[in-house]
Chains A and B, each alone.
Chain A
Amino acid sequence: MSDHRTTPRATARVTVPNDLGALQKVKEELLAAVTKHDYPEASAFAIRLALEEAVQNAYQHGNKGDPSRSVAFEWRIANSAITVVIEDEGTGFTPDVVPDPTDPERLEMPSGRGLLLMRAYMADVHYNDRGNRVTMVYQRPVN
């Protein structure tokens, strides 16, 4: 028997060119779906932030801004959680070796906070072995 809390109410899969305009449209589509499924404003804030960071990582660090490459998205929106998967065509990276940007000695470094923010706002953030596909899970807050 399916559980209404975890059964997806909306799913989507889309692959777009590594182009800022095309990526923006997908972000807007996902955020519209989040709002449509009665997630509160705070959830939309959290998902937007994590999504911005993940997409920027895919566009810039993974695909190196190359418009001939693509970014693949998949999302599942359920009552209790939202799962977003984003895959680029880069060589990948090892998230465990990213230095802690809150280290007092690194606080004045202008970059390196994206992953920290994704982890702070999502219940789970994990990468495939290659490091070019991120899966982010957001849990609906308990009232």
Chain B
Amino acid sequence: MTSTDSRLRIRKEDDVTYVEFVDRNILDEANIQRIADEITGLIDSDDMPKLIISFTNVDHLSSAALGALITIHNRTKQKQGQLRLADIDPQIYEVFTITKLNKLFEIHDTAQDAVASFA
């Protein structure tokens, strides 16, 4: 499912798609665009997708990465899907708080909690 040059680890269990980042830093614009394109492809391949994006390995992200997440959020909504974010380090969570994106995204402490939240 994951191509060799993908910057994502993707697995599907039942009807839930799990995405993790390979890189610790989600900063590079070109990489971010590729990541957004790949996740958008996952969303488009499902009806009413259930998607969990885990930040378990992530140390840094930029506003461009936040922008990509918003695009992914909006696309999931268009498809009547559900998006959850999980495993966010406190330093990264502060970035979500500053930008008030913690109000836009549904964020859970762990991917396990996120799975339990799906309707």
Q: How many residues of B contact A (CB 8 A)?
A: 24
CB distance from A100 to the nearest CB of B (A): 10
- Which of under 10, 10 to 19, 20 to 34, or 35 or more describes the interface residues of A? 20 to 34
Which residue numbers of B lie inside 8 Å of A, CB to CB? 27-30, 59-60, 62-64, 66-68, 70-71, 73-74, 91, 95, 98-101, 103-104
B61 nearest in chain A by CB position: A49
**Total A-B pairs, Cβ < 8 A:** 54
Are the C-beta atoms of B62 and A52 separated by less than 8 Å?
yes
Which residue numbers of A lie inside 8 Å of B, CB to CB? 20, 42, 45, 48-49, 52-53, 56, 60, 101-102, 107-114, 116-117, 120
Our pick among A45, A101, A108 for the contact of B74 (Cβ within 8 Å) is A108
- CB contacts (< 8 Å) of B104 on chain A: these are 107-108
- CB contacts (< 8 Å) of A117 on chain B: these are 63, 95, 98-99
